[in-house]
């Protein structure tokens, strides 16, 4: 039974930064690609960034150049550094395996970008 625990969200002004963390347990973390997803109010969940087991990354166009995904396999943790945040980045952020997500999602971490 995999457990995913996201943290690091909060309220930030436009242009600000946050670093999200996702700790995974109960699975062989290092061999899987992982992704960060987000769900804004009234919208479907969308994929934001992915990272392979070898460290190759990919980003949605909306966050390219502002967000950076990374991972620490020794700590079973994946990170999302978010810079130059915009109000449209407001959402609950989740991590999960990519592309074959685990059925069990974490509780997510809320990011609110507002002045």
pLDDT digit string, tens, across residues 52-61:
999 999 999 9
Residue-averaged pLDDT of the chain:
95
Q: What is the mean pLDDT of residues 65-74?
A: 96
Q: What is the pLDDT of residue 72?
A: 95
Degrees to nearest 5, angle at CA 5 with 99 and 18:
90
Cα 59 from chain centre = 11
Task: Give me the mean pLDDT over the 33-62 stretch.
Answer: 96
pLDDT of residue 17: 98
- What's the pLDDT score for residue 67? 98
Q: Percent of the chain beyond pLDDT 70?
A: 100
Cα 22 off chain centre by: 7
């Amino acid at each position: 039974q995999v457990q995913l625990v996201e943290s690091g969200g909060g309220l930030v002004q436009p242009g600000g930064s946050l670093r999200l963390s996702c700790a995974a347990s109960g699975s062989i973390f290092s061999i899987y690609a992982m992704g960060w997803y987000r769900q804004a109010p009234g919208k479907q969940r969308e994929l934001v960034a992915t990272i392979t087991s070898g460290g190759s990354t990919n980003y949605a166009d909306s966050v390219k150049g502002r967000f950076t995904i990374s991972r620490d396999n020794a700590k079973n943790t994946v990170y999302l550094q978010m810079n130059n945040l915009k109000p449209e980045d407001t959402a609950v952020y989740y991590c999960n395996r990519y592309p074959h997500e685990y059925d069990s999602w974490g509780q997510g971490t809320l990011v609110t970008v507002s002045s």
